[in-house]
Amino acid sequence: MDKTSPMGREEVELLIPKFQLIRILNQDQAGRRLTLLGKLQAAEAIMVFERTALPTSEALVSPLPSTVQYLRNLGHNDIYAWYLASSPPSAETPDLKINLIWPATQRHVQKYERQGVKVVTETKDVYAQDVRPWVEKQRGEGRLDWVYNILDGRTEVEDVILRDEGGEKPDEGFLLLPDLNWDRKTLPSLHLLALVFRRDIWSLRDLQKAHVPWLTAMRRKIIDAVTTLYPSVGADELKLYMHYQPTYYHFHVHVVHAALDPGATQATGKAFGLENTLAWLAGLPDGAGLADVSLTYTLGDRSPLWTDVFGPLAGRADGRGAGA
């Protein structure tokens, strides 16, 4: 928005009707999110429409069946009937969340435009020769400073749920703290992160068979800490998983409530269950690790790893690294 003369609420609201559609950039979340590119005054703007959650208070839910408009029956069969309808417009039960980005640059458009998903198989060799050197670059340039600040107790100290120094084995220490996306109170959507202290495990690719006892004990400590802090959460209601590829290359485990709606972030091809990964490791020959196996996963076709590594590999004659 205009920084020289900050806008008031009303002015910001008057922007919306002025938006003129250029084209649809994306539709996702089962069609319930729509991202538009348009013109707003002289500049380009991105507008995101998203269906809101339905109300859950009895006062708002109770009148709904008798106040819907344009009710249309589509069919019925035995005890089942299905319909379409419009909820009555009101300030209490909005059906749309709108985000506006204005003025939007080409970089914003790229970020919000539909991204294709590629399935890639990263063999042991592709990892060693192509991906690992790329990851090494990602780890540089101070990008992990925020992790080290947490581990060293310089930031977010008050958020830490569990700080396990590892006792006689400092290599086995870890921290447990809330994920940024969790509101820190709604238990069915609980989302925590366990960050290990050691800095030599970049991702699950660096896990060795020899790490199984450590990680099994760490899992136990995480579950004990969470169920002690939140007694209404059962030990058998926690899902632990890692991402591959992860967003940042310092080994961490996601801890979520099993009731949390699983979306793309928990999908096979992205999320690897901790327990099944440990079972996989346990079955490998002594001395082996996940750097020795083929891993298949999904990548956005505008992600840097696709554009830097897998895209060029897929174009090569030998197709090394291509999902095909």
Among 25, 102, 127, 197, binds its own copies (CB under 8 A): 102
Cα–Cα distance for residue pair 243/46, rounded to 1 Å: 29
Residues 1-20 interacting with its own copies (rule: CB under 8 A): 1, 3, 7, 9, 12-13, 15-19
Among 215, 216, 228, smallest CA distance to 161 is for 228
The yes or no reply on residue 171 touching its own copies (CB under 8 A) is: no
- Dist. CA 177–CA 175, nearest whole Å: 7
Task: Output the smallest distance, CB 256 to its own copies, in A.
Answer: 10
Q: Does 229 bind its own copies (CB under 8 A)?
A: no
Q: How far apart are CA 291 and CA 256, in angstroms?
A: 26
Query: Is the Cβ of residue 51 or residue 139 nearer to its own copies in the bound state?
Result: 51
> Considering the rule CB under 8 A, would residue 316 count as an interface residue with its own copies?
no
> Cβ of residue 197: shortest distance to its own copies, in angstroms?
25
Residues 200, 266, 135, 288, Cα dihedral to 10°? 50
Binding mask 262-281 for its own copies (x = CB under 8 A): xxx-xxxx-xxx-xx--xx-
Q: Does 90 bind its own copies (CB under 8 A)?
A: yes
Q: Which of 138, 208, 298, 303 binds its own copies (CB under 8 A)?
A: 298
Taking the C-alpha atoms of residue 32 and residue 49, their distance in angstroms, rounded to an integer, is 8
The nearest distance, CB 34 to its own copies, in angstroms, is: 4
Interface with its own copies, residue 120, by CB under 8 A: yes
Structure tokens at 155: 């930031």
Calpha distance 269→265 (Å, rounded): 10
Residues 33-52 that bind its own copies (CB under 8 A): 33-34, 36, 38, 47, 49, 51-52
> Counting contacts by CB under 8 A, is residue 142 touching its own copies?
no
Are the beta carbons of 266 and 273 closer than 8 angstroms? no
Distance between CA 163 and CA 176 in Å, rounded? 7
Q: Does 187 bind its own copies (CB under 8 A)?
A: no
Closer CB to its own copies, 71 or 157, in the complex: 71
Name the one range near its own copies by CB under 8 A: 131-139, 150-158, 175-183, 284-292: 284-292
Contact 270, 243 (CB under 8 A): yes
Among 223, 233, 253, 305, binds its own copies (CB under 8 A): 223
Angle value at C-alpha 257, between 252 and 259, nearest 5 degrees: 140
Task: Specify the DSSP class assigned to residue 309.
Answer: I
Q: Coil, strand, or helix at residue 119?
A: strand
What 8-state DSSP symbol labels residue 203? S
Position among 110, 186, 294, 307 found at the interface with its own copies (CB under 8 A):
294
Binding residue for its own copies, selected from 99, 149, 186, 307, defined by CB under 8 A: 99
> Is 284 an interacting residue with respect to its own copies (CB under 8 A)?
yes
Active site residues: 252
The pair of three-digit structure tokens given for residue 295, joined into one six-digit string: 């891993």
